[in-house]
Structure 1
């Protein structure tokens, strides 16, 4: 009997130690996420050079004008992301409110003499040697601030009042992005991130399905009404023009619909395997600013539908790694923050490609890690650093 008791005690002690080992943090680093980020960035640089070299030579006297700038900032941003990944993401709890206020203030400064116009829109902030779009900071602010609020609200997030508070906080930042920077696409993205995080945190999804159904129905009715009653002329709102161009691009092929039509020509002429890297015809001035929002059309022209599918597979794998991190995050704050990053990346990819293939009106949203733009890559890499920081805290059972 004594021997049996001793064996049970020994087994119980060993079991406790085993459970303790299972709860111990392992040295984990998501190298798969790092790899897909580097792959997308390198692919983006190759396509950026191929897309922009001709116009860069004509306009700036160097075929590597855009490539050099993007390559330098991309390498610096990858290093920055790796450094951020070594910092405990929980430190952001202390700065979430400050980050939200900073985003509001910086966007408001765009309306002052510090604001700078580019391509007909005043969305940039010029602070001496630093020039950036503060609306990009607002995306990170909402990704950090809302998870912090949701965690501290606890069960209150399930109530209508709790959801309304979160909606007001996110909607306020979206409204500020629209009013101060005249950037509707960023406002839509911020609002969608807000709605997505509330959806993830709220246990009842029925109300969200109903709201989504109502919004879609109203959008369809609005588009049908515009198509039936409105015609585009020079005096109309440019956003209204974009909707009409989306509905009837062939009618405005020589004016506002020129870029859309040329992008569709590029995709169609590429076929399944494309013309070959560097052999695009549409990039020779036919698609304006092809290195920016419309770079996916040149990818399809040079690498074909096959190349476009490879790009989509890389994005799908990136989103999969973010999903895995969000599912296994050690706390609710980290899980919601990575969920916000997931929603942001997914939205930008969907919106950009939908615009290029004319499934929706032009929004001016860039293709993550591929389109030209220093501000975009800086804040995207910052988000990737935060995701890697959460991944480093994951505990696995041994």
Structure 2
């Protein structure tokens, strides 16, 4: 652009405040939820908290580094980042580590991480770059299909072992294309194509169809146990909850309660009001992403903020929908709250990108 870029000395403090409060609450909730499992499995009630705190410090440091960089620099490595995500996803299929029946991790010495978390950020930057480059043709159906087809390789590779993350990546792509396109009628056709693709994808593996059956009638299946226990936790919390640390369901009744089912323990310990407060913090984050996107000085920055907004919105909605048995179980985590160092680090790096966009004013 011909306009000069002026960097503001202040970042979005509303976003930072909500994020900080959410992270602190997440650590408190995580310790309360994971202390029992940590003591039973590792003889250390602080086991999960210590690992999450280390990831948090690493992620916050990375967030501020990225926040103080010019976000336009990432256009130069967007394509490289996307192909790196594809290579890492291929590597998972061949040399990945398996945990609880899912092969999603790569190990580098003493460290392990999930390439699918890197893929989310890589796809946001890649699509922001591609759409910005071809914005004049985004109203054409063939351009929209071409852009969506570009991310199908990573969707397929990630979806082979992690369907929930594949859905998130596909959702991010659809929302970015929708925002960039001046025509909306074409999305009806794209939606039908998406439904057809998901139907075929679900039918390829019998366990995916089994999840649909468990969702419809969890009492009839042994694997519906986690869902039922999560619903018991939500119901027993009432309006104000049992109190922090007083959950009964986390004592082995809800398996791996610190992961994707953590929202049920939030409801049990903090009640409807506490769970509502957590949701308000997520809504503030999503609102600030929207404000930053609409006030960005260029399309690339607006698409980065929109991609982060789509990521946060889809993941929070899917997690809560799974916990409340509104949709079949997909094993998706609650951002900034569920246990997972890789997820936390890349979420914070993504926040750094949004803060970098917010620091450039018109």
Q: TM-score, normalised by structure 1?
A: 0.85
Corresponding position of 2:171: 192
2-side partners of 1:23 and 1:90: how far apart?
11
1:215 Cα shift? 6.1
Contact 1:241 1:256 in 2 (8 A): no
Number of corresponding residues: 356
1:129 Cα shift? 3.0
Cα deviation, 1:85-141, whole Å, max 9, x if unaligned, reads 00111001110110011001111111233x111111111111223311111111111
Q: Which one is further off, 151-160 or 93-102? A: 151-160
Contact 1:103 1:137 in 2 (8 A): yes
- 1:202 aligned to which of 156, 181, 201: 181
Q: Which has the larger radius of gyration?
A: 1
Q: Does 1:363 align with 2:319?
A: no
Corresponding position of 2:77: 95
Contact 1:267 1:300 in 2 (8 A): yes
Residue correspondence of structure 1 range 141-160 to structure 2 within 5 A: 141-160=122-141
SS in 1 for 2:223: coil
1-side partners of 2:328 and 2:138: how far apart?
34
2-side partners of 1:328 and 1:243: how far apart?
42
Contact 2:5 2:361 in 1 (8 A): no
Q: Does 1:390 align with 2:357?
A: yes
* Structure 1 residues 207 and 272, CA gap change in structure 2 (3 angstroms): same
* Structure 1 residues 94 and 299, CA gap change in structure 2 (3 angstroms): same
* Structure 1 residues 111 and 215, CA gap change in structure 2 (3 angstroms): closer
1:214 Cα shift? 8.1
Contact 1:28 1:394 in 2 (8 A): no
Residue correspondence of structure 1 range 213-252 to structure 2 within 5 A: 237-252=206-221
Residue correspondence of structure 1 range 66-105 to structure 2 within 5 A: 66-105=48-87
Q: Does 1:308 align with 2:243?
A: no
Contact 1:249 1:261 in 2 (8 A): yes
1:344 Cα shift? 0.5
1:24 Cα shift? 6.1
2-side partners of 1:153 and 1:216: how far apart?
26
Contact 2:141 2:186 in 1 (8 A): no
Q: Does 1:46 align with 2:28?
A: yes
Cα deviation, 1:129-180, whole Å, max 9, x if unaligned, reads 331111111111110011111111131111112111101112222112124x
1-side partners of 2:252 and 2:325: how far apart?
20
1-side partners of 2:34 and 2:304: how far apart?
35
Q: Structure 1 stretches of 5 or more lacking a match?
A: 1-21, 227-235
Corresponding position of 2:109: 128
Instruction: Please report the RMSD computed on the Cα atoms of aligned residues, expressed in angstroms.
Output: 2.1
2-side partners of 1:172 and 1:23: how far apart?
35
Q: Does 1:106 align with 2:88?
A: yes
Contact 2:55 2:342 in 1 (8 A): no
- 1:317 aligned to which of 265, 284, 290: 284
* Structure 1 residues 210 and 107, CA gap change in structure 2 (3 angstroms): closer
Cα deviation, 1:4-47, whole Å, max 9, x if unaligned, reads xxxxxxxxxxxxxxxxxx99664331111111111111101000
Q: Does 1:35 align with 2:17?
A: yes
Q: TM-score, normalised by structure 2?
A: 0.94
1:217 Cα shift? 10
